Structure 1
Amino acid sequence: MPSPVWDPGQYLRFADERTRPLRDLLARVPALPDEPAPTVLDIGCGPGNSTAVLRERWPGARITGIDNSAEMLAAARGGAGEPTAEYLLADAADYDPAGAAPDLIVSNAALQWIGFDPEHGPADGHLGLLPRWAAALGPGGVIAFQVPGNFDSPSHLLLAGLRRSPRWREALGADAARAGVHGPDDYLRVLADAGCTADVWETTYSTLLTGADPVLEWVKGTALRPVLGRLTDPADRAAFLAEYGALLREAYPAGPHGTVFPFRRIFAVAVRRG
C-alpha cells in the first residue's frame, strides 16, 4: 500500500501537544559521548518540529532529519524545522545509520508506521530496526524513541469499525490504517538483546482540546492520513468525515473547558553498553 500523503499544516495544528512527549523523552537522555557537539539523527523528523527541539538541547550538535515525505521535509526546510540541520529524504525502514556514526538516534512518533501487518497485528518490522540502530552506536551512544500507545482507544477503534462498515469497506478495507506498536516489554527485551541498557515506560496525557470537532482535527494529522488518501472523491471524503466526526463527538463529549482527549505514549531510552 502507498505511504500516506502528509499535510504538514494539519500536523502542526497541535504542534505543542505533539512535541511535549519528545521533550519528556529527551529529559531522560543522558550525556552523549561527543558532547557538546554530538552527531544526532532524527529519524522520521516530519516537518522538523522535533529537530528544533533537538537543537535546543544540543546547540552544537550536527543534526540530520530523515523522513520519507517530501512534503514534510519541504516544511522543515521552509521554516517549520531547525534551519541549521541537514534533511535527507529516505525511508526509515531502509535507512542504515551506521555511516553517520551517530551518538544519538531519535525517533518521535514514527516507528508505528513501519512493519505493520493489518491482518496479523504489529509485525517485527520496526522491532527489527532496533538492533541495526544499536549496532550503529559506539559505547555510550543512545537510542531514544516514543510511539503512540492508543490503538485500542475509541478514536482508533471507531475508525477501524467505520472502515469495515458496509458503506466504506470496499473503498477502504482493513489495510487503510496500517500503524501499530508493540508492548513496552517487547521493546525492553529487543533493546537489551541488542546490547543496550534500556529504560522503557508509558504515560497517558490528558490533553484538553478546544474548537469544533477537535478530536477529528487531531486525527486528521496522523491516523486519518491513509484513509483520506484513499477517499479521492470530495463528496465521499466529506461524508466519511461527517460520519466519523459524529462518532467522535459521542465518544469524546465536549465539556465546559474543552474536550478531554487521553493520549497514551510508550517511551524508550537505550544506552549502548561498552
Structure 2
Amino acid sequence: MWNPDVYLAFADHRGRPFYDLLSRVGAESPRRVVDLGCGPGNLTLTLTDRWPDAVIEAVDSSQEMVDAARARGLDASLGELEAWAPKPDTDVVLSNAALQWVPSHRELLVRWAGELPAGAWIAMQVPGNFDAPSHAAVRELASSPRWLDALRDIPFRVGKVVDSAVEYAALLSDADCAVDTWETTYVHELTGEHPVLDWITGTALTPVKGALDEQDWQRFRNELIPVLDARYPARPDGRTLFPFRRIFVVARVA
C-alpha cells in the first residue's frame, strides 16, 4: 500500500528529475498528455501550466495515489501500466519513476512507439540505484534468519531491473524513434535523524511494510537504522549525502 504523504516527504528531491526529463520534450501544442504512474499528482498538475490546452490523462496502479491525485483536481484513473494503450490523439507519454516496477516495460516502450502517432513523444525516467548500499542493506536484513520466513515472498529486485541509457537508446532507435538518453547521479543533501530510512520507506520498503504487522514493521525499521546510518553517515553539519542514479529516455516517434 502506497502512502502519498510518506512519498511526498521528499517532494523537492523527487521532483527534480521530472523537470529535467520534461525539459527535453519538445512538444509545442500536444492534444493529449499522459502521465503514467502519476503518483499523488503534484507533478502532473504542472503539465497544465506548460500545455494549458492539452487534455491531461493521469494513471496509477495504487488506489491511494489515485485518490490523492483526484483530491488535487486531476481526473486520475486506476490501472496497471501494462494494460494502458494510447488514445489516437495522444501526443506525449510521460512516466516518472514508475516503469521500474514493470518487468515488461521494455516491450511496452516498443509497443507504444508503434501505437502513437508520428511526431509523438515518449519520456521516461527510472531509478538506476538497485545495487546501492541502501537497497543492499534491505535485502541483507530481509534474508537474515529473523526475517526470512516473513519476507520470503517479496520479490526484492536484484540484477538487471532497468537498462542503461545506451541500451534504451538502441531499443527505441530500432523502433524507428529519434532518441535522447542520459544518466544522472543526484547527490541529495538530506536532513533528519534517519533520512535515508525515511526516503526508502516511501519507495523500496513499501512491500516490506505491507508484508508485516505494525509491531514487526517497527522492529524491522529499528534493525535497519544502524546499518543505514553506518553506510550513509551524517556529516558534522548534520546533513547526509545520498547519491541517487537515474536514467532518462526521451524519444520522438518517426
- TM-score band, normalised by shorter chain: over 0.9
Q: Distance in 1 between matches of 2:202 and 2:178?
A: 34
* Alignment of structure 1 residues 222-261 onto 2, 5 Å: 222-232=203-213, 234-255=214-235, 256-261=237-242
1:32-56 superposed Cα distances (whole Å, 9 cap, x missing partner): 4xx1x53101001011122123223
Structure-2 residue corresponding to 1:75: 68
* 8 Å Cα contact 1:43/1:107 also seen in 2: yes
What's the offset of the Cα at 1:130?
0.4
Structure-2 residue corresponding to 1:26: 22
Q: Does 1:145 align with 2:138?
A: no
Q: Distance in 1 between matches of 2:176 and 2:60?
A: 26
- SS at 1:28 equivalent: coil
Q: Distance in 1 between matches of 2:208 and 2:220?
A: 10
1:128-173 superposed Cα distances (whole Å, 9 cap, x missing partner): 1001111222111100000001111100111111111111111112
- SS at 1:241 equivalent: helix
1:222-261 superposed Cα distances (whole Å, 9 cap, x missing partner): 00001111112x2211110011111111111111141111
Which amino acid in the other structure matches residue 187 of structure 1? Y
* 8 Å Cα contact 2:31/2:89 also seen in 1: no
Q: Distance in 1 between matches of 2:135 and 2:49?
A: 33
Which amino acid in the other structure matches residue 19 of structure 1? G
Regions of 4+ moved over 2 Å: 173-180
Gaps of 5+ in 1: 116-124
Q: Distance in 1 between matches of 2:202 and 2:149?
A: 23
Q: Distance in 2 between matches of 1:261 and 1:56?
A: 31
* Alignment of structure 1 residues 24-103 onto 2, 5 Å: 24-32=20-28, 35=29, 37-79=30-72, 83=73, 85-97=74-86, 99-103=87-91
Q: Percent identity?
A: 48
Structure-1 residue corresponding to 2:250: 269
- Between the two proteins, the alignment pairs up a number of residues equal to 251
Structure-2 residue corresponding to 1:133: 112
Structure-1 residue corresponding to 2:3: 7
Q: State the superposition RMSD in angstroms.
A: 1.4
Q: Distance in 2 between matches of 1:174 and 1:246?
A: 25
Which amino acid in the other structure matches residue 110 of structure 1? A
Q: Distance in 2 between matches of 1:153 and 1:190?
A: 25
- Partner of residue 212 from structure 1, selected from 188, 193, 218: 193
* 8 Å Cα contact 1:40/1:105 also seen in 2: yes
* Alignment of structure 1 residues 109-120 onto 2, 5 Å: 109-115=97-103
Distance 1:175 1:100, change over 3 A: farther
Which amino acid in the other structure matches residue 199 of structure 1? D
Q: Distance in 2 between matches of 1:160 and 1:174?
A: 12
* 8 Å Cα contact 1:163/1:174 also seen in 2: no
TM-score (structure 1 length as normaliser)? 0.88
Q: Distance in 2 between matches of 1:164 and 1:53?
A: 41
TM-score (structure 2 length as normaliser)? 0.94
Q: Distance in 1 between matches of 2:40 and 2:208?
A: 20
* 8 Å Cα contact 2:186/2:243 also seen in 1: yes
Structure-1 residue corresponding to 2:133: 154
Gaps of 5+ in 2: none
